């Protein structure tokens, strides 16, 4: 399943599909385009069917872009597989403990 990210309401984005090596470049581009359109976003990842280390890298890059643009970004419903990668990589504080 290809990846897409779409606006799901005021200050909300919904990610859908596979967030992995095959889709990372497109996901990065789509997310960066949307992050420039508001002061704060919550990204709902409950629609992500699978994710790997490339997907985690995309989330980190989105956080970096958001920070550079002075946009508050947080994630919710990060898939367990991606949470495990974040923990193993000692990135859980960056991805999993974000301001509400």
Three-state DSSP class for residue 6: strand
What tens digit of pLDDT does each residue of 27-61 get? 999 999 998 877 999 999 999 999 999 999 999 99
Residue 100 has pLDDT above 70, yes or no: no
Contact status, residue 41 vs residue 35, Cβ threshold 8 Å: yes
Q: Which domains does the chain have, with CATH numbers?
A: 4-95 (3.30.750.24)
Tokens of 27: 């996901």
What tens digit of pLDDT does each residue of 61-95 get? 999 999 999 999 999 999 999 999 999 999 988 88
Q: Specify the pLDDT at position 76.
A: 95
Taking the complete model, does pTM exceed 0.75, yes or no? yes
Q: Specify the pLDDT at position 92.
A: 86
Three-state DSSP class for residue 4: strand
Lookup result for tokens 């956080």: 63
């Amino acid at each position: 399943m290809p990846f897409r990210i779409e606006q799901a309401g005021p200050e909300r984005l919904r990610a859908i599909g596979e967030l992995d090596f095959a889709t990372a470049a497109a996901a990065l581009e789509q997310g960066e385009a949307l992050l420039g359109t508001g002061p704060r976003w919550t990204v709902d990842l409950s629609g992500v069917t699978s994710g790997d280390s490339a997907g985690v890298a995309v989330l980190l890059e989105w956080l970096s872009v958001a920070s550079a643009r002075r946009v508050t970004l947080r994630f919710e419903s990060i898939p367990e597989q991606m949470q495990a990668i974040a923990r193993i990589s000692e990135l859980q504080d960056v991805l999993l403990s974000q301001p509400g």
